[in-house]
Amino acid sequence: MGATRTAVKHGAVLTARELTAVTGQPIAIPDRERLIHLQFRRFAGCPVCNLHLRSVVRRHEEIEAAGVREVVVFHSPAEELVEHTAHLPFPVIADPGKRLYVEFGVESAARAVLDPRVWGAIVRGIALSAWGILRGRDRAPAARPHGGRFGLPADFLIGRDGHVLAAKYGEHAYDQWSVDELLILASHAPK
């Protein structure tokens, strides 16, 4: 467990920056044309993260139609992420040094996997991942993932002007906005 970090709250204004996706694509934050849903996930191949990202992939067109661009950050090296995220229709950012995690106040804690509210998602995620691995569609995560297994998720909705319109810090590994929650937040965002 790390020290408590400062949370980025609703109304904060982010400094403009350019991140680089694992594909080499530059990602401007903020995006002058769309809202950004910046998600912080755990490690490459994380079964719980993959369970959530499947729901985002299924509804990706709907998310884009709402004017939202997905950007997902993992604390794994780019080389590891490429093997696990090549099929995703949105940019994935590697942050193995956890620089962005620290800046945004995203923490790690044992409660990520020890909280009973996550146990069902762990079982479902592992089952789906195992099925994908057996069928040759997915790769197993590293036995000792870079950055550890105890990362907590976080979600930020960032306006076109860099204002944080909403933020959520997960209490356990499967505590993030659903697609429905994201779409409601986006519908209330300034145009």
Residue 1 pLDDT: 42
Q: CB neighbours of 100 closer than 8 A, spacing ≥ 6?
A: 19, 40, 73, 93, 106
3-state class (DSSP) for residue 111: helix
Domain-by-domain residue ranges, the chain? Answer: 33-187
Closest CA to 71 of 48, 53, 51: 53
Place of tokens 């909705």: 157
When the candidates are 3.50.50.60, 3.40.30.10, 3.40.190.80, 3.40.50.1000, the CATH number that belongs to 33-187 is 3.40.30.10
pTM: 0.89
Residue 5 pLDDT: 63
The most confident of 75-84, 148-157, 165-174, by mean pLDDT:
165-174
pLDDT tens across 4-22, in order? 567 898 889 999 999 999 9
**Of the given ranges (4-18, 142-156, 160-174), which has the lowest mean pLDDT?**
142-156
Please state, in angstroms and rounded to a whole number, the distance separating the CA atoms of residues 135 and 176: 28
What ranges in the chain are assigned the alpha helix state H? 47-58, 60-65, 78-85, 99-104, 111-114, 119-134, 179-187
Higher pLDDT, 106 or 126: 106
